[in-house]
Structure 1
Amino acid sequence: MKLSWCAYRLNFRHPFRLATGERTGTDSVFVRLEKKGMYGYGEATLPPYLKENTSSVISFLKTIQAECLSAGTPQEFLSLLHQLEGENHFAVCAVEEAFLQLQRKLNKEEANDVRKVNTLSTYTLGLGTEEEIVEKLKIAEGFPVLKVKLQSETDQQPINLIRKYTDRPLCIDANQGWKDMENSIRFSFWLRDMNVMMIEQPFAADHYEMHEVFRKKSALKVIADESITTLESLKKNYACFDGVNVKLLKCGGPIAASEMLRFAKEKSMFTLIGCMSESSCGVYHAAELGAEADLLDVDGPLLINNDPFNGFELNGGIIRLSKLEPGLELNFVNE
């Protein structure tokens, strides 16, 4: 089995604005595993606020190259991979995605025909001017649920603006930007009256008690994102939230994500599968788990203008998967 990788910059169609700042793109590393003329692909997309970056991912891949590629069985490979994981969740996720796809091909289990994912996806509007929001709403035509970024627990303006153009249900992503409990509680009731379904990550990631109090008093479901990223953190803190947004990159790959979704369902939590600002490669693997979640949040490819992969289609909230392969020429290297 041969391992190679390609560093790549994903560029946004519009500047991506959050409560924490703004950026125009995201660095990524695509991983390719090859055996018997067949390929599997994975993706590590690396927002600048992470500990992991392009250099750390490539360094980890070189370790995998030296330590894991001679494993005798798939089980041995995965075991070695996760023994080396440490804090390299994004890198491990990319390798695991590529490995699982390659194994399906080798076992003649990879479906290349177009197939529909039954769970629907949201579309993210982000923050922006009225002109930008109107343009994004055109792209989001047909999506049954829209996701909106809010900067504070008193920020009514984006909701009022959106309601000038659509009455579709909304999900709020606060990105840890809210501070005041009483304002947040009052705001949740106003949001409910504006046809909002849920609030994702209102407070700082480590403010578990604050989330637990808010959950009991909020008019809306409270969903964890940054507060719960692994199965261990889910088991420890699930009672603070009504639901969880599971992201393959944060938890270390599809296998861990599936375990998190099963545990969350056992605890009657609302489940989402989300993504970072990924290309079609990463969200393809996330969408394959779609049947295990209540809602998908995998619109990453629609937010970028240089997606190098084919195989993932998202239109009006409906996902269709086909053969995952590069659509642009990528320079994969192994040193």
Structure 2
Amino acid sequence: MALQSITLQLDVRSWPLKIPFRITGHVFDSLDLLVCTLSCDGVTGQGEAAGVYYHDETAESLRAQIEAVRPAIEAGIDRADLQDLLPAGGARNALDCALWALESRRGRRAAWQLAGLAPPQPLLTTFTLGADLPAVMAERAAGLPKARALKLKLIGDGHDAERVAAVRHARPHVWLGVDANQAFDRAATEALLPALVEARVDLLEQPCRIGEEESLRGLDCPIPLAADESVQTRRELESLVDLFDAVNIKLDKCGGLTEALAMAHRARALGLRVMVGNMIGTSLSCAPAFVVGQLCDIVDLDGPWHLAGDVAPAVDYLDGYLHCPAGLWDHAGAGP
């Protein structure tokens, strides 16, 4: 049901990272995030978005998108209306998550209840290491003794096999995934595979460029393949069934918690493994993704861990698991 007389507030907040974070084609040392606050009847709900960098989204461009539809929002809108009002992406994500939080707090029911899920449990999450010299990545991996799962960024510069070998030597028993962020073509993927197999890599994420997914057809790859950039919303899922083993759902890509939950259910029905990830963001971004994580096989929700600071209250990382305190973003109690 659409809400009446909503007040919309948009703020851009800047957050420095602990250390520069390098992936294929980009180095991040700080992040601007858009925070959307919706108020109705004295109750507020918030959503946060970074946007999708490879779609050239920025916090300011997200704000401009939302400002363009401010009259429709403040006249009263619900999550179903929003799916038609804005396309998938960071702007819709910020609004969608704010609407979830607002509905949760007004109705005094947690988001997981609204989604029809079981009470949430802590999630084993990966911790991602940005691309760097192999010895540096190994040192960072060794410095995370509580992490049970690591993900390495690979960049196709000829040193990726060394990176993977160095980290595996430093952490011989950890679950290990690698993410190329579109760095490879098929030939480069095939050339690297023996090193990945030798290092007992558990997941290979997005080796190919967007639009070149068919190049993976027939690839003799004993390591499960996950799509990230190649899957934005439910629309791409069926086309990826014979090419990938898993899909990485991110709220900034798909446009919010509403679509993310629908994607998780649809992917599972298609026989795909389900992964949830996030762009780097605060705990305000992580909390709604934590809800999706309850449906997932693989969880990569370490965004707040990369930041030099965070909102309060905040998620916590204990013994390799992500804990999200009740009431961080939505209503705290179980309700009626």
What range is the shorter-chain TM-score in?
0.7 to 0.9
Aligned-pair distance for 1:259?
1.1
2:66 matched to which residue of 1? 61
Distance 1:25 1:147, change over 3 A: same
C-alpha separation in 1, matches of 2:266 and 2:139: 39
2:332 matched to which residue of 1? none
C-alpha separation in 1, matches of 2:226 and 2:134: 27
Distance 1:279 1:135, change over 3 A: farther
Alignment equivalent of 1:198, drawn from 166, 179, 203: 203
CA contact (8 A) 2:122 2:323 kept: no
C-alpha separation in 2, matches of 1:7 and 1:159: 37
1:9 matched to which residue of 2? 14
Matches within 5 A, 1:286-325: 286-324=289-327
CA contact (8 A) 2:51 2:89 kept: no
User: How big is the alpha-carbon RMSD for the aligned residues of Structure 1 and Structure 2?
Assistant: 2.3
Aligned-pair distance for 1:80?
2.9
Unpaired runs of at least 5, structure 2 = 1-5, 113-118, 330-336
Aligned-pair distance for 1:131?
6.5
Alignment equivalent of 1:141, drawn from 141, 145, 150: 145
Report SS of the residue matched to 2:124.
Answer: coil
C-alpha separation in 1, matches of 2:288 and 2:204: 25
After the TM superposition, which of the residue ranges 296-305 and 133-142 deviates more from structure 2? 133-142
CA contact (8 A) 2:186 2:216 kept: no
Alignment equivalent of 1:230, drawn from 228, 233, 246: 233
Q: Which residue type is aligned with residue 107 of structure 1?
A: G
Alignment equivalent of 1:276, drawn from 276, 279, 284: 279
Is 1:249 paired with 2:252? yes
CA contact (8 A) 2:51 2:253 kept: no
Is 1:259 paired with 2:247? no
CA contact (8 A) 1:222 1:242 kept: yes
Unpaired runs of at least 5, structure 1 = 327-335
Aligned-pair distance for 1:292?
0.7
C-alpha separation in 2, matches of 1:224 and 1:303: 23
Distance 1:166 1:138, change over 3 A: closer
Aligned length in residues: 316
Alignment equivalent of 1:176, drawn from 177, 182, 189: 182
Q: Which residue type is aligned with residue 54 of structure 1?
A: A
1:333 matched to which residue of 2? none
Percent of residue pairs bearing the same amino acid type: 24
C-alpha separation in 2, matches of 1:293 and 1:197: 16
Aligned-pair distance for 1:142?
1.8
Is 1:78 paired with 2:79? yes
C-alpha separation in 2, matches of 1:171 and 1:48: 22
1:152 matched to which residue of 2? 156
Aligned-pair distance for 1:65?
2.4
Q: Structure 1, residues 279-334: CA drift from partner, whole Å, max 9, x if none?
A: 111111101122210011010100111323423212232121124559xxxxxxxx
2:95 matched to which residue of 1? 95
Runs of 4+ in 1 over 3 A off after TM superposition: 46-49, 129-132, 323-326
C-alpha separation in 1, matches of 2:103 and 2:63: 22
Report SS of the residue matched to 2:242.
Answer: helix
Question: With structure 2 as the length reference, what TM-score do the two structures score?
Answer: 0.86
C-alpha separation in 2, matches of 1:104 and 1:46: 24
CA contact (8 A) 1:244 1:271 kept: yes
C-alpha separation in 1, matches of 2:264 and 2:274: 7
Aligned-pair distance for 1:110?
3.1
CA contact (8 A) 2:12 2:60 kept: no
CA contact (8 A) 2:138 2:166 kept: no
Aligned-pair distance for 1:245?
0.4
Question: With structure 1 as the length reference, what TM-score do the two structures score?
Answer: 0.87
Report SS of the residue matched to 1:80.
Answer: helix
